[in-house]
Amino acid sequence: MIRQLAQENIVLLQQGIDLVRQLNDAQFRYEDDIARSSIGKHLRHILDFYTAFFRNMPASPDELHQIDYDRRHRDPVLETERPQLCRKAEDTQLRLAKLERDSLAEVASCEGLRNFPSVAKSHRTRELQFLLGHTVHHYALITMTLRLQQLEVPKDFGIACSTRLYLQNQA
C-alpha cells in the first residue's frame, strides 16, 4: 500500500513540475488581489509539507516516525525561482520512491485559534493520503490563479479523485 500511495504522490508532484515548466516567471509569481498568493507560494507550501513529512524519519521503519507539519522552513527562493522549485519537487519524488514499508507515526500540530497543541497517532500510509489531499487542495487554488491570468488549466489539475469518479458516473 505504501508504495502505491508514494507513487500517487509522485505522479501528483509531476503535475506541478509540468505546470511550472509551462509558465514564465511572471505567471509563476503573479499574485491576484483576492487570494494574495501566487502559484509559486502554493507550490512552495506543498513542498514544505513533504519536507516536514521526511524530517525526523527514522532509519528503521520499526521506530516511531515523528512528524510536525507546523515546523516548516518556508524557503522564499522556491516561491520565485522555478528551476529551484522543480529541483526540490524532483528530490521529493526520489525520496517518495524509496519508501518501502509502512510504520507508525506521531503527528504534532497546533490547532484552532488558541494554538492548542495536539499529538495524534498515525501511519506513514495515512500521512501519504493526507499529503495527496493537501496537494490537490492547493492545486485547486492554483487553478483559480491560472484562470485569473486567463491561462489554460491542465486536465484533471486540482480535481480530487472522488470528484473525478463522481463526474465520470454523472456522464
∠ Cα 130 131 137 (to 5°): 90
Question: Which residue range forms the structural domain that includes residue 33?
Answer: 2-170
Is residue 16 very low, low, confident or very high in pLDDT (cuts 50, 70, 90)?
very high
pLDDT digit string, tens, across residues 25-51: 999 999 988 878 999 999 999 999 999
Provide the phi-psi class of 150: left if phi over 0, else alpha when psi is between -120 and 50, else beta.
left
pLDDT digit string, tens, across residues 107-140: 999 988 888 899 999 999 999 999 999 999 999 9
DSSP conformation class of 59: S
**First CA to last CA distance, the chain:** 30
Domain count for the chain: 1
Confirm if 123 and 143 have CB atoms less than 8 A apart.
no
| Residue 48: CATH number of its domain | 1.20.120.450
- pTM score above 0.75: yes
Q: What is the DSSP string of 136-166?
A: HHHHHHHHHHHHHTTPPPPTTTT--HHHHHH
Q: In the predicted model, what is the mean pLDDT of the chain?
A: 95
SS3 109: strand
C-alpha cell at 128: 501519504
Q: Indicate the helix (H) or strand (E) that contains 100.
A: none
